[in-house]
């Protein structure tokens, strides 16, 4: 078999295009799809050796698969990670990263603004296993150290957060965590490794929903946990036995998607900045929030740790919940859907959808106001995206 093509001296985006699983005898140019649940052996001895971990032969696709490995290797190159374990969804990556390290009596410190299902895992399921948690305000990093307890095992953050677009200085957070020997786990879904590399800033683990910008076309679910080998081995051990394996087909789609990640994120970021800039000051809006807008409260952090603002823009409509619903009804181009990170622009209203299960107060605690609209800026012409939003703002007055 041909050696995998990779040179560590290549830039990460080159590696993400060139790393491949083994070619078959046909020498195909694009990486093959190994759509199989298990792998065969020539004889009893080679099967025995595979099960004894004496060779790196593949066994079963719940454990590993060459197509899934290709996606994993590409993500490792992009994030600068030693090792990774790919999962069926972002939530199985987040959950696997919790369960591999937290046990009864342990304490998790998490940013208060987290993805809706992550909030459910932290508040409804972790307590079933006696795992405690405290939420902290991402915008108040100076509060973190006082919240660390002797039993705190992990700090989990989203930066930028979903959907509030709050940021935290990762380098400063890592410094605090290191003093207390606490694992820092960063959900890097919103930035992607094209715009932010938490491991280079000292984070121990990076989790992803590959469903979003990594796929980038709203086709497949996927996730991944990345980090130092000894940490990822713990995640692998948990996931290998509990079963949230990434489908080889989805891994194949996601690997192809990584080949365009950098060009897509540059375009998403450029269009999102243009949109945010054009909307700022619009009479229908209370405010516009985007990490690369100078008016963002943590603009300096965004400039320092991200190479682009990402594809999400948020704004608060004057007129609250009812105006929000009217606004969605008037959109002609943007899709109304739960996903984000798509080539097609998307508008969502968290208060009535993704965060509807939270109480009004809980929503306010994580910055979700009644008229908050989240725009996932797609790859359409930036002028068409702006025009559709402006006409829907006018028509929903």
Ligand X SMILES: *Cc1c(COP(=O)(O)O)cnc(C)c1O
**Do residues 199 and 166 lie in contact, with contact meaning Cβ atoms separated by under 8 Å?**
no
Q: Which of 211, 345, 369, 376 binds ligand X (CB under 6 A)?
A: 211
For residues 340 and 376, give the distance between their C-alpha atoms in angstroms, rounded to a whole number.
Answer: 6
Q: Which stretch binds ligand X (CB under 6 A): 21-29, 53-61, 84-92, 148-156?
A: 84-92
64, two tokens: 């590993």
Q: Is the peptide bond before 163 cis (omega within 30 degrees of 0)?
A: yes
Residue by residue, DSSP assigns 76-142 as: HHHHT-SEEEEESSHHHHHHHHHHTT--TT-EEEEES---HHHHHIIIIIGGGGT-EEEEE-TT-GG
SS3 118: helix
Between 91 and 258, name the residue whose CB sits nearer to ligand X. Answer: 91
Q: Which stretch binds ligand X (CB under 6 A): 89-97, 232-240, 285-293, 384-392?
A: 89-97
Between 70 and 187, name the residue whose CB sits nearer to ligand X. Answer: 187
Q: Which of 33, 77, 81, 91 binds ligand X (CB under 6 A)?
A: 91
Q: Does the footprint of ligand X cover residue 72 (CB under 6 A)?
A: no
Q: Does the footprint of ligand X cover residue 89 (CB under 6 A)?
A: yes
User: Contacts with ligand X: how many residues (CB under 6 A)?
Assistant: 16
Between 36 and 337, name the residue whose CB sits nearer to ligand X. Answer: 337
Q: Hey, which residues between 221 and 260 contact ligand X (CB under 6 A)? A: 221, 223
For residues 239 and 102, give the distance between their C-alpha atoms in angstroms, rounded to a whole number.
Answer: 14
| Contacts with ligand X, 164-193, as mask; x by CB under 6 A | -----------------------x-x----
147, two tokens: 């919240």
Q: Which of 113, 162, 250, 348 binds ligand X (CB under 6 A)?
A: 162
Between 283 and 338, name the residue whose CB sits nearer to ligand X. Answer: 338
Residue located via tokens 């969605």: 328
72, two tokens: 């994993």
Q: Hey, which residues between 121 and 140 contact ligand X (CB under 6 A)? A: none
* Nearest distance from C-beta of residue 52 to ligand X, angstroms: 35
For residues 217 and 240, give the distance between their C-alpha atoms in angstroms, rounded to a whole number.
Answer: 28
Q: Which of 64, 185, 196, 209 binds ligand X (CB under 6 A)?
A: 209
Q: Does the footprint of ligand X cover residue 160 (CB under 6 A)?
A: no
Report residue 154: phi and psi, to 5°.
-145, 145
**Do residues 21 and 4 lie in contact, with contact meaning Cβ atoms separated by under 8 Å?**
yes
For residues 372 and 364, give the distance between their C-alpha atoms in angstroms, rounded to a whole number.
Answer: 11
* Nearest distance from C-beta of residue 210 to ligand X, angstroms: 7
Between 192 and 396, name the residue whose CB sits nearer to ligand X. Answer: 192
Span between the terminal Cα atoms of the chain, in Å = 64
SS3 71: helix
Between 212 and 296, name the residue whose CB sits nearer to ligand X. Answer: 212
| Contacts with ligand X, 92-121, as mask; x by CB under 6 A | --x--------------------x-xx---
Q: Does the footprint of ligand X cover residue 215 (CB under 6 A)?
A: no
Residue located via tokens 């909030």: 119
Q: Does the footprint of ligand X cover residue 342 (CB under 6 A)?
A: no
Q: Which of 119, 212, 267, 349 binds ligand X (CB under 6 A)?
A: 212
Per DSSP, 4 falls in state P
For residues 346 and 196, give the distance between their C-alpha atoms in angstroms, rounded to a whole number.
Answer: 23
For residues 154 and 327, give the distance between their C-alpha atoms in angstroms, rounded to a whole number.
Answer: 40
Between 348 and 396, name the residue whose CB sits nearer to ligand X. Answer: 348
Contacts of 20 (CB under 8 A, 6+ apart): 4, 5, 31, 70
Contacts of 335 (CB under 8 A, 6+ apart): 342, 344, 345, 346, 347
Between 164 and 370, name the residue whose CB sits nearer to ligand X. Answer: 164
Q: Please identify the residue of the shown chain whose CB is closest to the bound ligand X.
A: 90
* Nearest distance from C-beta of residue 115 to ligand X, angstroms: 4
* Nearest distance from C-beta of residue 385 to ligand X, angstroms: 20
Residues that bind ligand X (CB under 6 A): 89-91, 94, 115, 117-118, 158, 162, 187, 189, 209, 211-212, 221, 223
């Amino acid at each position: 078999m041909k050696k995998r093509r990779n040179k560590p001296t290549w830039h990460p985006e080159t590696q993400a295009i060139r790393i491949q699983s083994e070619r078959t005898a046909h020498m195909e140019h694009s990486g093959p799809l190994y759509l199989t649940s298990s792998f065969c052996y020539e004889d009893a001895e080679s099967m025995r050796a595979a099960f004894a971990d004496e060779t790196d032969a593949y066994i079963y696709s719940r454990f590993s698969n060459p197509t899934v490995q290709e996606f994993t290797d590409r993500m490792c190159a992009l994030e600068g990670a030693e090792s990774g374990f790919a999962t069926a969804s972002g939530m199985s990556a987040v959950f696997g990263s919790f369960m591999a390290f937290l046990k009864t009596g342990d304490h998790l410190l998490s940013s208060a603004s987290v993805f809706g299902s992550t909030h459910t895992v932290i508040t409804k399921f972790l307590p079933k296993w006696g795992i405690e948690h405290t939420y902290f305000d991402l915008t108040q990093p100076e509060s973190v150290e006082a919240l660390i307890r002797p039993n705190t095992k992990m700090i989990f953050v989203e930066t930028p957060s979903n959907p509030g677009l709050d940021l935290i200085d990762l380098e400063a957070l890592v410094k605090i965590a290191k003093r207390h020997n606490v694992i820092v786990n960063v959900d890097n879904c919103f930035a992607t490794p094209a715009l932010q590399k938490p491991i280079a800033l000292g984070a121990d683990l990076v989790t992803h929903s590959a469903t979003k910008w990594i796929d980038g076309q709203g086709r497949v679910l996927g996730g991944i946990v990345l980090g130092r080998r000894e940490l990822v081995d713990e995640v692998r051990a948990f996931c290998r036995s509990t079963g949230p394996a990434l489908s080889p087909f989805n891994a194949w789609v996601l690997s192809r998607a990584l080949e365009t990640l950098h060009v897509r994120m540059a375009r998403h970021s450029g269009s999102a900045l243009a949109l945010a800039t054009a909307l700022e000051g619009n009479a229908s809006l209370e405010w516009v929030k985007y990490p690369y807008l100078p008016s963002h409260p943590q603009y300096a952090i965004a400039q320092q740790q991200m190479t682009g603002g990402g594809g999400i823009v948020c704004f608060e409509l004057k007129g609250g919940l009812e105006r929000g619903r009217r606004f969605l009804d008037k959109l002609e181009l943007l899709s109304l859907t739960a996903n984000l990170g798509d080539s097609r622009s998307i508008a969502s209203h968290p208060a009535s959808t993704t965060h509807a299960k939270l109480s009004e107060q809980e929503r306010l605690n994580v910055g979700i106001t009644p008229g908050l609209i989240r725009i996932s800026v797609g790859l359409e012409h930036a002028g068409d995206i702006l025009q559709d939003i402006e006409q829907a703002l006018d028509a929903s007055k």
